[in-house]
Structures are given as C-alpha cells and as structure tokens.
Amino acid sequence: MGWLGLGVLIWGGCDGGAPIDLNRPPVVRIRDLTLSAQQPATLRPAVSDPDGDVLAFAWSFLVVPPLSGVAIDDATAPEVTFLPDKLGDYLLELAVSDAEFTASVTVLVTVLSGADRPLARAGADQIVAVGASSSLDAGASQAASGEELAYFDWRLTAAPADSTVTFRSFDPTATFVADVEGEYRIELTVHDGSRQSASDEVVLDAKPEWIEPGDVRAGQLRPEQAYVVGLAAGDCQLGVAHWSDLDTVMGGMNACEGFPLVRLDHTGAVLYLQQGILRQLVCDDCPDWTEGTKLKGDLTANDLVLDTAPCDGTTFERPTDHLPGGDGSMLLRCGDEWRVRGTGQLVPDWPLSFDGGVALLSSRSLYDIDAGVATPIEGLPSANLTLARTAPGGFHTAIYDELWFVDASTAEAIVVGSYPPVPEHESLRRHRLDGMGSLIQYSYREDLGHYQISRRRLDGVTDVRVVIDDDTWLPSPSYFCSGP
C-alpha cells in the first residue's frame, strides 16, 4: 500500500460574540421545577455578567395558589429556598441588576400531590443506523408521588412511507430497529397505578448503516465521515483518504514546511492551516492523480486562501489552529487564545466542537456566543472531555465506552449508548467520532503484531476495515479529520 500514516490534528471547540466597550446587561437562566407536596423548593439560577460587574438580586412571587402564605426569607440572595404550603403553581420573578441594566426571568414551581399525573421522559433524539439496534430508556420518567412507576408504554406513531416495521414495548428500556432510511417517531407514556402521564416523544433519524465516504479521488468528501491525513508520495506530499480505503487518496498538501492542521468544514471541504495561513484545499490533478505519484510545482498554487481576521499578525497573533462551525462560522486560535473569526471575541476555554451558535468547551460547559455565557453541563460522568462533535440539537461526546448527548438548549447530558470494550491485547492510539456516533479508531494489536483501523459501533459490533502490516507504514499513530 502506497500510503504513510503521518499527520497532526489539534482538536477544536467553540465560542461567542464580538468585544464591546460599552456595558452589557447581565445574563440569567433558570429551569422550571416540579415537586411533590412537603418538598422544599430550591432555586439556583445560572447568572453571569459579560463585564464582570457586581450584581444585585431581587426575588418576588407573581402568582401563588389560593390561600397560600408562602414567603422567601432572603429575597436578595443569589439562591433561595422556600417551602410551598399549598398544591398548585408558584410563579416567581428574579431580577438581576448591575446598577445600569436589569435582566429578569420567571420560573414556575409546580407542587403536585400523589394523585397528580406522572411524568414521561423518552430521552434525547438520536441518529441511528438502519438495521442496527437502538436503545430507548425511560429511566428519567417519574411518578408525581415519588414512588415507582407501575408500567411503561412505548409505541411507534410515525415511520417512513416504505417502512414495514412495527413496534410496541411495555418495559422501562426497549430496543428498536429501523428497517429503512428516514425518520421514526416513538411516544412514551407511563402510569403510576392510578393516573397516566402525558406522552413524550423521541425522534430516531435512521441513516444507512454505511454512509458512503464520497468520491475521495475527485475531492468530494462527506463531513459525517472520518478521514486520515498522511504522506501520499515522497517525503513532503500529503493527502487525505477515507479511513476504510487508504489506497484512494485526495492530494495534495506540502509538508516540507511543517505538517498542516487539517479539518473538514460543514460541507466536507478540506481546510488546512500552515504557518499562519488558512487555505481550502483544491485537489491537484483530481480525479486522475494516484497515490505514490509525486506532484510537481507549488502545491498551494490553486488552493484558496481564507480570511483569518482578526488573527492576522497585527491585531492578534496569526492563527495556530482553527475549528469550523456547523454553519460556516469558525473559531481561530490566535497564539494561545481562541477567538471568533471576524469579531475577535475571546472564547473563555478550549473548544471541542462548535455548531455556530453554541460551543462545547473542555471545561465541561456550553458557551453561548450571542449571550457570551458559559453554562455548566449537568449529568456527565466525572471525566475529562476530549472527543466531541455536533449532533442534532446539541453535541455528542465519547466518555470511556459510552456515547453521551449534550442538549444545546438545556445543557443537560444523557447517555445514548455503549461501545464494545477495547480488548486487552489492543492498544488504542487515536480515535474520532463520525456522524453516526461510531468511534473510528487507530490501534495496535499486540497479539497479531500489526496496526489497524476499525469502527466501534453502538450496537456492540467492531468492524476491522484496514489492517496495516507492511513496511510502508511507520509505527506511529494515524491522525483523523472530520466535520464539525
């Protein structure tokens, strides 16, 4: 095989708006709360001020149940707790002021009795593979009384026109298999023995089990896929190949002046950063070029030079990394700081994935660009975040042997599924998430004495697609690139 596995890739992330000299109002968020009778209500808002101003808080009741005499002990505290004295709804307002601007939000506290309806929670929407098992979990559902639920009811309510699948389950967890590509809607209702919940819906977007990698030799890549960057000819000529077929290569980039940092944008275009210059690769001699044939002349001559302002070497240092967003926007690492391309707004931490409006940060938080606010993610296990990509409505992140979904609107995380474990004799070197939530990994098989690239799927299957056992590969990791 005429392809060497070399490359460098720095994982990226996301950020938010433009620097403004004038004072900006504080930002406050809070979620509604549902309680059983006799439970105290503790309200903990997420509050920040883009300018770091000292903030004042003021809580007040707007609506309370009839005959309620409820009160808050300290209505100026950042967090408050009160004991509801009647069943029903309590509507409160929180006003947060920086002395010049005031931001106000309302929060609804609902107090239920044991006779009230339970709550169904079907889980986050998922991207699934046709023919593969998908897991449904009602574990977040709850009875209004706090007791155990009596039974569960999953039912398929909508499917693609050419689907023949039927589905009904009465277990807390269920398995669904899509038979054709398209969207499936499944409703969940739960019962506590006396009353039934309202239904909650989960949407499963079924994709082909194998998303075609695109016409690589013609320079047409798919952002959902993962690709390998490495030497394709001579000592300096780089190319890009799909991880399952290293003999079909898109050329070429020049590594004589240092390995470029390669990423795909939301369209599948190859963007590479080298010596502070960001370019979009235009495939040289595509589709006739074959790997092993050294291209002559200036390999950057027909590539497009992209704007990296404000990281242009004058206002800030030239970019040392880049992270395309899901909508064509971009974050740039200007020296040691991440900033939004165009506006120059500073990103508060290292970004891992960016959908254009919200960024997933390595600090286990979501950063809202327009608001300039970072919100801690709730529900994730205690582990460093290193691997993430965008997903419908949020982000996927792989932690240990599990895939997690982080909701971009609520900053809540739930587990989507589990991967087959890495065998003891297999040493993992590099991995990357694809658009299906699978882990594409480069590893060394100590028992067989070779390197390999494989795919670990959520249905428990590991596909070994490429075995690297000849002298053309160096005994060092291969590096992947993929879309946002």
Residue with tokens 């320079």: 219
Q: What is the pLDDT of residue 254?
A: 78
Residue 241, H or E segment: strand 237-242
Helix (H, G, I), strand (E, B) or coil at 56: strand
Q: Whose CA is closest to 142, among 133, 153, 150?
A: 150
- Residue 91 and residue 32: Cα distance in Å, rounded? 9
- 26 within 8 A of 103, measured Cβ to Cβ: yes
Q: What is the pLDDT of residue 124?
A: 76
- Residue 299 and residue 253: Cα distance in Å, rounded? 6
Q: What is the pLDDT of residue 238?
A: 79
Q: What is the pLDDT of residue 9?
A: 29
- Residue 217 and residue 286: Cα distance in Å, rounded? 6
User: Across-strand partners of 403?
Assistant: 398, 417
- Residue 380 and residue 260: Cα distance in Å, rounded? 33
Tell me the torsion sign for CA atoms 441, 447, 448, 450.
positive
Q: What is the pLDDT of residue 291?
A: 63
Per-residue pLDDT of the chain (484 residues; tens, 9 = 90+): 333 333 322 223 333 333 444 778 888 888 887 776 777 888 988 888 888 889 999 999 999 988 889 999 899 999 999 999 888 889 999 999 998 899 999 998 888 765 567 888 888 777 777 887 788 888 888 886 667 788 899 999 889 989 999 999 999 989 899 999 888 999 998 887 777 777 888 888 888 766 677 788 777 888 888 888 877 766 677 788 888 888 788 877 877 777 788 888 888 888 888 888 888 888 777 776 666 667 666 777 788 888 889 988 788 888 888 899 877 889 999 988 999 998 888 998 899 999 888 888 888 899 998 888 889 998 888 888 888 998 888 889 998 888 888 888 888 888 888 888 888 888 877 888 888 888 888 888 888 888 888 888 877 778 777 776 554 443 344 577 888 8
User: Across-strand partners of 410?
Assistant: none
From the number of C-beta atoms within 10 Å of its C-beta (0-12, 13-18, 19+), residue 370 rates as exposed
- Residue 43 and residue 355: Cα distance in Å, rounded? 30
Question: How many CB atoms neighbour CB 58 within 10 A?
Answer: 13
Q: What is the pLDDT of residue 156?
A: 92
Residue 202, H or E segment: strand 200-207
Residue with tokens 């880049």: 322
- Residue 84 and residue 64: Cα distance in Å, rounded? 9
Domains in the chain (CATH in brackets) are 38-112 (2.60.40.10), 126-207 (2.60.40.10), 216-482 (2.120.10)
Residue with tokens 């004042």: 56
What does the DSSP 8-state code read for residue 93? E
- Residue 135 and residue 141: Cα distance in Å, rounded? 16
